[in-house]
Structure 1
Amino acid sequence: MSENLWRSSVRNLEPYIPGEAAKEAEEQSKLNEIIRLATNENPLGPSPKAVEAMQKAVLEAHYYPDLTCLELRNKLGSLHGIDPENYVVANGADNIINLVIASYVNSGDEVVYCTPTFSEYNKNTLLVGGIPVEVPTTKDHKFDLEAILDAINERTKLVIICNPNNPTGTIVDGEELRKFFKRLPKHVIAVLDEAYGEFITLDHYLTGVEYIKEGFPVITIRTFSKLYGLAGMRVGYAMANEELIRPLQMVREPFACNRVAHAGAVAALDDVEYKEKVLLGNKLEMEKMITVFRSLGYKVEETHTNFLFIDMKQDTSKLAKDLFSKGLIIRPCSAWGYPTYARISIGTAKQNDKLIKALEEVSSQTPHHI
């Protein structure tokens, strides 16, 4: 009976299913330790300065947070060279995606993006009555900019480019992206989801910050969940020119970023030394893991993130269960249509060594085919 009262668009939605939480996994098994390599979290945790700031902020939890996160917007303005008024801070990047789509998409409007990618583009488009237009990625798992342009029509409102893409870890060529923006029709807004943007190490590679400064109609999305290790705090932000950012400021719910999270994000930006430590550790362990995976006969895609997209030449749903029995969680990619692929986060050296040992044990018992 109650389903008859639902908003009609809700019936078309599928709930977001994240990687299995470590604590939940511990409760379901007899293992004392679960190593979680499925959700691309920072294995080193947040900066000690961020932890200290959050602990202090807890003592003021009886006060409402700053409505617009002014201190954080000022820090971001200094970091990126974009006016602090041209930011919106909210409850994680997924909340920002919701705000962008709710701000611009009317019933019947189309939102174009490539797949496989982050499922929240589809979900939030459907929720507001929009039409998701999904274009396959290229053979090398990159967003197909030409195919996106071909899919644009008079009903298109947004194009979303996840760069680096989740779950593939790939990026598009920077100059090709600039040409793409120049070819967009005037009625179409580009959204750059750069949740993993800080992990790109290519020299002179342009990000959304530069495109905004050049005057392109781009809304760029970032998060503190990945590099800065604040996934549990939920802090994301969007930046764009004044005209594009204004509707997000109007749609955004009051106090969309809590006091503790805000304090942690501000302190995290100040700890540049810790950020460089995280990036270096990710780079070194990434190189090690790529070498090991290839030695095991797996195909590892080029990546610019803190995770690997790997063809493991077998049913990764079964492999994930085998690894879980050894206390390790990885993300099978069958939900994206890649039954032999897995997305595996880069952990600490100790965590990665345990994964390697477990994979060697499993590989010795299982042929690499389905």
Structure 2
Amino acid sequence: MSENLWRNNVRKLDPYIPGQAAEEAKQQEKLTEVVRLATNENQLGPSPKAIEAMTKALQEVHFYPDLTSLELRTKLGELHGIDPENYVVANGADNIINLVIASYINPGDEVVYCTPTFSEYHKNTLLMGGVPVELPTTKDHKFDLEAILGAITEKTKIVIVCNPNNPTGTIVGEEELRAFFKRLPKHVVAVLDEAYGEFISVENYATGVEYIKEGLPVITIRTFSKLYGLAGMRVGYAMATEELIQPLQRVREPFACNRVAHAGALGALEDTEHKNKTLTENKREMKKLIKEFRALGYEVEESHTNFLFVDMKQDTSKIAGELAAKGLITRPCAAWGYPTYARISIGTAEQNDKLVKALQEISAKTPHHI
């Protein structure tokens, strides 16, 4: 009976399924220690400056946070060279995605993007009565910008480019992306999801910041969950021209970023040493894992994120189960339509060594799987 009272669009939604929680795995496998390499968290943890700032902020949690996160918007403005008024801060990047789609999509409007990618584009489009238009990525797992342009109709309101893409870790060419934005019809808004943008190491590679400064119709999304190690605090933000950011400012709920999270984000931005340490270790450990995975017969390319998209040449759900029994959680990609692939986060040197050893043991039991 109660289901009959639901909004019709809610019936179309599938609940978001994250990587297995460490607590759940411990209980299920009867383990005391679990390494979670499924959700692309910063295994080094947050900056000591962020921890100090959050600890101090705990003394003031009886006060509401700043309504629009002015101090953080000001700091981001200094970092990127974009007016603080052109930002919206909210409860993680997924909340920002919700705000963008809620701000622009009417029933029947189309949202165009490629798959596999982050599932929240699909969910939030359906929730607003929009029409998801999903196109395959290219053979090398990149967003197919030409296909997106070709799929645009008069009903298209938003196109989304996840760059770097999740779960593939790929990026599109800078000039190709700039040309894509310039070719968009006037009735289409571009959304550039750069949750992993800080991990791109291509020299002088332009990001959403540059496109916004060039006046292109781009809403750029960033997060403090990945590079800055604040996944548990939920801080995300959007930046765009004044014209494009205005509806998000109207839709955004009051106090969307809590006081402790706001303080943590400010502290994280102050600690360039911790940020650089994260980037250096991520790059070093990624190279090591790529070498070890290829030695096991897996196919894997270098990624522009803090994870790898790995073709293990067999059912990764089975491998994930065996790894979980050893206290290692990875992310099978069958839900994205890639049953032989896994998305594996880059851990610390010790965690990665443990992972490689476990995979070598599993491979030794099934030597003819490739």
* Matched residue type, 1:337: G
Shift of 1:368: 5.6
Is 1:85 aligned to 2:78, yes or no? no
Per the alignment, residue 301 of structure 2 pairs with 301
Per the normalisation by structure 1, the TM-score is: 0.99
Deviation of the 1:303 alpha carbon: 1.0
Give aligned-pair identity as a percent: 79
Match of 2:246 in 1: 246
Amino acid at match of 2:359: L
Q: Does residue 1:360 correspond to 2:360, yes or no?
A: yes
CA–CA distance in 1 between the matches of 2:25 and 2:324? 9
In the alignment, which residue of structure 2 is the partner of 1:157?
A: 157
Residues 282-334 of structure 1 deviation map (CA, whole Å, 9 limit, x = unaligned):
00000100000001100003310000000001100000000011110000000
Gap change, CA 1:282 and 1:8, over 3 Å in 2: same
Work out whether residues 13 and 127 of structure 2, in 8 Å CA contact, stay in contact via their aligned partners in 1.
yes
Matched, 1:292 2:292: yes
Q: Is the partner of 1:314 in helix, strand or coil?
A: coil
Distance of 1:363 and 1:340 partners within structure 2: 15
Q: What letter corresponds to residue 58 of structure 2 in structure 1? A: V
Cα separation, 2, equivalents of 1:113 and 1:158:
9
Residue equivalent to 1:65: 65
| 1:282 paired residue number | 282
What's 1:208 paired with?
208
Counterpart for residue 113 of structure 2: 113
State the alpha-carbon separation in 2 of the partners of residues 165 and 240 from structure 1.
Answer: 20
Distance, in Å, in 1 between the alignment partners of 2:257 and 2:219 is 19
**Count of aligned pairs between the two proteins:** 370
CA contact (8 A) 2:290 2:301 kept: no
Contact (CA 8 Å) 1:64, 1:255: kept in 2 or not?
A: yes
TM-score (norm 2): 0.99
SS in 2 for 1:157: strand
- State yes or no: 1:139 paired with 2:144: no
* Maintained 8 Å contact 1:315/1:369: no
* 2: CA distance, partners of 1:333 / 1:301: 16
**1:26 CA displacement:** 1.1
Consecutive aligned runs of 4 or more in structure 1 exceeding 6 Å deviation: none
Q: Supply the distance in 2 between the matched residues of 1:366 and 1:346 (Cα, whole angstroms).
A: 25
CA contact (8 A) 2:29 2:324 kept: no
Question: Whole-Å Cα distance in 2 between the matches of residues 47 and 66 of structure 1?
Answer: 22
Cα RMSD, aligned residues only: 0.8
Structure 2 distance, partners of 1:339, 1:367, is 19
Inter-partner Cα distance in structure 1 for 2:278 and 2:23: 24
- Partners of 1:285 and 1:349 within 8 A in 2: yes
Cross-structure match for 2:46: 46
Query: Tell me, what secondary structure is at the counterpart of 1:364?
Result: helix
Match of 1:269 in 2: 269
Counterpart amino acid of residue 107 in structure 1: P
Return 5+ residue gaps in structure 1 as ranges. Answer: none
User: Match of 2:338?
Assistant: 338
Task: Look up the match of 2:324.
Answer: 324
1:217 aligns to what? Answer: 217
The residue aligned with 2:194 is: 194
Whole-angstrom CA distance in 2 between matches of 1:95 and 1:30:
34
What SS does the corresponding residue of 1:153 show, helix, strand or coil? Answer: coil
Tell me which residue corresponds to 2:26: 26
Contact kept, 8 Å, 1:314 with 1:368, in 2: the verdict is: no
Distance 2:42 2:368 in 1: 30
1:369, distance to aligned residue in structure 2 (A): 3.9
- The secondary structure found in structure 2 opposite 1:59 is helix
Amino acid at match of 2:162: C
